[in-house]
Structure 1
Amino acid sequence: MASRQITVQTTIGSPVERVWEGFTTPDHIARWNFASDDWCCPSAEADLRVGGSYKARMEAKDGSFGFDFEAVYEELNLHKALTLAMADGRRARTIFVPLDGKTKVTTTFDAEAENPVEMQRDGWQAILENFRAYMER
């Protein structure tokens, strides 16, 4: 049975080269990769090559919960697209489209079965909006 796909997107007021760097560089990832102010991303790793690993540690700031989001890069098309294959077999593909000095970022990912689709969409959208806010500072 094919899993349901969810799409989130935003437009960032920065050129695609800068957005790509912010999305793929561990120092940047650790500054935006969380859905709300009560969470943080204390560390991130990105071996930016097909077959390379991606890992982001996500934690509640009060220490009550945390987890590692781990995946492998399946596709890398510089400044255009990347696909992550998650440990549970799901995939997430992000595309970057230049728009007159801005960049439209769209991520489509396979939903997981544990949480409601709306909750997953809202969480991934919040992370993407946090990325937009970080890149526009």
Structure 2
Amino acid sequence: MAKHRDIVTVQVLVDASIDTVWKCWTTPADIIKWNNASDDWHTPEASNDLRKGGKFSYRMEAKDASMGFDFGGVYSDIIDKQEINYTLEDGRKTKITFIEVDNKVQVIESFEAEDINSIEMQRQGWQAILDNFQKYVEHQLPKR
């Protein structure tokens, strides 16, 4: 029987088109520019095979090289420009929903918490990454 895991949800409203948001979320060249929770971390490598059964992998490292880890999984379902579902390498599930709202995009990410760090720490980390995504999309890309 599968272990019950707490579901944590983070979200952000991005002032960009769904096409731009989707591209930035799924393209490795963009992912490496926003996928970090703090300025002392970065993602030097990313690969993404965006299809059901496809795999993704992001190498996340401290900029001082003191620590790092691979974050990856397998896509279980994708609805173009609406929803991405995947299972992490440790078996936890994640769902990301993209909803167009008044020419903006609400990105809602729900994930099964892990057992090592507190739920609040996980929520803060994932929210920080989502906030970086929003900043990247809104400030580094040309306006519509």
TM-aligned CA deviation for residue 40 of structure 1: 0.4
Q: Distance in 1 between matches of 2:114 and 2:26?
A: 23
Q: Which residue of 1 aligns with 2:14?
A: 12
Matched residue, 1:94: 96
- Give the match's secondary structure for 2:87: strand
Q: Which secondary structure does the structure 1 equivalent of 2:127 belong to? A: helix
Amino acid across the alignment from 1:48:
L
Partner of 1:55: 57
Written as runs of structure 1 = structure 2, the 5 A alignment for 1:116-135 is: 116-135=118-137
Give the SS at the match of 1:88.
coil
Cα shift at 1:70: 1.1
Cα displacement (A) at 1:48: 0.8
Amino acid at match of 2:65: G
Equivalent residue for 2:35, pick from 14, 33, 45: 33
Q: 1:59 offset after TM fit, Å?
A: 0.3
Count residues in correspondence: 137
State how far apart, in whole Å, the 2-side matches of 1:18 and 1:2 are.
Answer: 35
Amino acid of the structure 1 residue aligned with 2:77: E
Identity of aligned residues (%): 45
Cα distance in 1 between the residues matched to 2:62 and 2:89: 22
Q: Mind listing any 5+ residue stretches in structure 1 that lack a counterpart?
A: none
- Give the match's secondary structure for 2:66: coil
CA RMSD of aligned residues (A): 0.6
Normalising by structure 2, we get a TM-score of 0.94
Aligned-pair CA distance for 1:2: 1.1
Unpaired runs of at least 5, structure 2:
140-144
Q: CA separation in 1, counterparts of 2:30 and 2:94? A: 19
Alpha-carbon distance in structure 2 between the residues aligned to 1:120 and 1:43: 22
